Amino acid sequence: MPSTTTPARPARSNRRTPRDSPAAPRTRKTDATSLRASGALKSNGFGTVRPLPSGRYQAFFTSEGHRVTAPGTFATADDARAWLDDQASDRRRGRWHDTRKAENITLETFARGWVASRPDLSPKTLELYELSLRRWILPAIPTPDGGSIELGTVRLADLSVQLLTRWHAAVLVAARQSSVAKYTPHRARAPHPVRTWAKAQGIDVAATGRISPDVVRAWEAAGSPKAAPAPAPAPAVMQAGRTATSRAFGLLRAILNTAVRQDILPRNPALSVEGTGKPKRRRRGVATVAEVRALAAHFPEHLQTAVLLAAWSGLRHAELFGLARRHVNLDAGTVTVERALLRVSGQPVDFGTPKSEGSYRTVHLPGFVVDAVRDHLEHHTAPGPDALIFTTTRGGAVSPSCTSRLMHHARRAIGREDLTWHDLRHTGATLAYAAGGSVPDVQQRLGHSTDAAARIYQHTYAGRDQALAARLSELYDPLAS
C-alpha cells in the first residue's frame, strides 16, 4: 500500500517581505475609507474619531480640502465626539472659523494689506494711518518693566486682550513722554534771570532790550538768584500723548474688525481693552466780536481779512486758504467751498476734496465781511479767477504752521492765550447760534455731515441766556396787561 506522506512545511524564511523591506518606500495610508475598513477610525457623521496607541482619542474633520484637528487629544471617544459636535454646531450657526488663517499671518502683514486695500482713503488720512503704524503699532514699544512689545511680529491668532492692554498702556506712556519732550520749550531762549527776578520783585522792566544797570546791581546784591524753569501744568502733562494713543488704538481696532469680517479672527480682542476711550476734548475758546477784531489787527495786513472770514463764516483752515477768486461772489455776498488745500509730507501742496459730502456748500457772509473781502481782493489778491485769495508774502499757500505762529503772537497781544486758529471756526458756529441759527442751520453753514458734530459747538454764549430771558419777558408782558 503506497504510503501517503504529508509534504513538509517549508521552513520560515528570515527574509522580510517587500512591504517591510527598507528598499520599498512605506506609504502612509491617510485615506479615511481605507482606515475605516481596518477599524482604526470611527465616523461621527461629521468628522472622525481615531483611537491612538496611547489609549487616547484624536478628533478631526475636513474643511475646504484641509484637515482640521482638535488642539489636543481626548480621554474617551465620547469626549472627542463632543468636540466634533461643537464644531459642527458652530459651523451651522456661522460661528466657526479656521484658526489656521490667523496662525499663518502676522499683524504687520495683515495691516499693510489692509492699508493697501483702502483706495477710498484720502492722502491725508493715509498719511496719518502710516504714521500710527510706523510709530506706535508695528515697532517695539518699551514697557515699564524694561521689556518691550512688538505687535508687528505677533500672529493674529496670538493677539489677546491681555497683550493689547499692556501694549496700550506702553504706547500711552511713550506717546506722553514724546509729546512733553516735543512741546517743552527747551530750545527757546530762557528769559534773562535779572529780568525774571526784577518782575518777581515788582520792578518794572521791559520784556526785551537792555536792562538798567541799577536793576542788574540790585539783582547781584540779592545773590544773583537763578529762576527755576516753570513746570508744565499737571493737566497738560496727563493729557499729553492721548490723542496719538487714541488714533493708534482706533486704527488697530478697525484693522482687527476687518479680520473678524473676513473670518480670520472669531472676535476682536481690541473691543475688550478697557481705558481706551477718546481723550477729553479741549474746551474750545470762543472770541467775542471785539476780540476777533483785535486779533485781526495784530495779524499782517495781507491776512487780517482771513481772520475775519474765518470767524464769521466758520470755514475750516484748508477750506479758507483753498479759496480762489472764482469762489467769491461779492454781489451775492457768498463764498463757495468746493475744494481744500492738501498737504502731505514730502509732496508739493495740492488741492483735494473737502472733508465730507456735507462740506460742499455756499456760505453767506455778513455785509461788513463782504466789504472787507472786496477791499482785500483789490489790494492783496493776484488777478485771475484761479488766484488764491490769501497767500504768503511770496504768493505761496498759507500753511497751518504759519497761522499758528501768527496766532500765538496775536492772542498774547490781546490777552487770550487759550485761543487757537481752529477756535475761530468755533467762534463762527457760536455766533451763528447766538444770532438765532438752529442746529440744521449751523450744520449746513459749517459743512458737517451730521447734527451731532454741529452740536459740539452749541453751548451757552456769553449774554445769550440774558437775551433769552428778555425775550421771555416780552412774551409775558402782553399776557399780564
Q: What is the mean pLDDT of the chain?
A: 81
- The answer to which of 183-192, 216-225, 230-239, 357-366 has the lowest mean pLDDT is 230-239
| C-alpha to C-alpha distances, 393 to 179, 207, 290, 380, nearest whole angstrom | 32, 28, 27, 9
Q: Among the options 50, 425, 426, 445, which is catalytic?
A: 425
User: Could you tell me which residues are beta bridge partners of residue 141?
Assistant: 149
| DSSP per-residue letters across 228-280 | PPPPPPHHHHHHTTHHHHHHHHHHHHHHHHHHHHTTSSSS-GGGG-SS-PPPP
CA distance 27 to 221: 100
Active site residue 422: yes
User: Could you tell me which residues are beta bridge partners of residue 61?
Assistant: 68
What per-residue confidence (pLDDT) applies to 281?
Answer: 61
CA distance 159 to 162: 8
**What is the CB-side half-sphere exposure of residue 153 using CA atoms within 13 A?**
6
Dihedral sign from CA coordinates of 310, 314, 317, 319:
negative
Q: Which of 156, 107, 97, 114 is nearest to 136 (CA)?
A: 107
Q: Which of 114, 120, 126 is nearest to 347 (CA)?
A: 126
Active site residue 316: yes
Q: In what order do the strands lie in the sheet with 66-69?
A: 42-43, 48-51, 57-63, 66-69
Q: Residue 371: which residues within 8 A CB-CB, separation 6 or more?
A: none
Q: Which of 400, 420, 401, 423 is nearest to 410 (CA)?
A: 420
- Label residue 43 by pLDDT band (50, 70, 90): low
Mean local confidence (pLDDT), 15-34: 37
What per-residue confidence (pLDDT) applies to 421?
Answer: 93
State the CB neighbour count (10 A cutoff) for residue 324: 17
Q: Output the nine-digit C-alpha cell for 457.
A: 459747538
- The answer to which of 218-222, 287-291, 413-417 has the lowest mean pLDDT is 218-222
Longest Cα separation, the chain: 156
CA distance 295 to 419: 10
Q: Output the nine-digit C-alpha cell for 4.
A: 501517503
Active site residue 12: no
Let me know: does 320 contact 308? Beta carbons within 8 Å: no
How does pLDDT run across 81-124, given as a tens digit for each residue? 999 999 899 888 877 777 778 888 999 999 999 999 998 888 88
Let me know: does 286 contact 428? Beta carbons within 8 Å: no
What per-residue confidence (pLDDT) applies to 441?
Answer: 82
pLDDT at 188 over 70: no
Let me know: does 149 contact 170? Beta carbons within 8 Å: yes
CB neighbour class for 178 (10 Å; exposed up to 12, middle 13-18, buried from 19): middle
Q: Among the options 284, 317, 445, 448, which is catalytic?
A: 448
Q: Output the nine-digit C-alpha cell for 462.
A: 456769553
**What is the CB-side half-sphere exposure of residue 468 using CA atoms within 13 A?**
9
Let me know: does 21 contact 13? Beta carbons within 8 Å: no
Q: Among the options 129, 433, 457, 461, which is catalytic?
A: 457
Q: Among the options 316, 339, 343, 426, which is catalytic?
A: 316
Q: Among the options 317, 411, 422, 426, which is catalytic?
A: 422
pLDDT at 16 over 90: no
Percent helix, percent strand, percent coil in the chain, to nearest 5: 50, 10, 45
Mean local confidence (pLDDT), 29-52: 62
**What is the CB-side half-sphere exposure of residue 95 using CA atoms within 13 A?**
6
Active site residue 461: no
* Torsion angle of the four alpha carbons 169, 175, 179, 180, in this order, in degrees rounded to the nearest 10: 40
Active site residue 471: no
Calculate what percentage of the chain has a pLDDT beyond 70: 77
What's the pTM value of the predicted model, to 2 decimals? 0.60
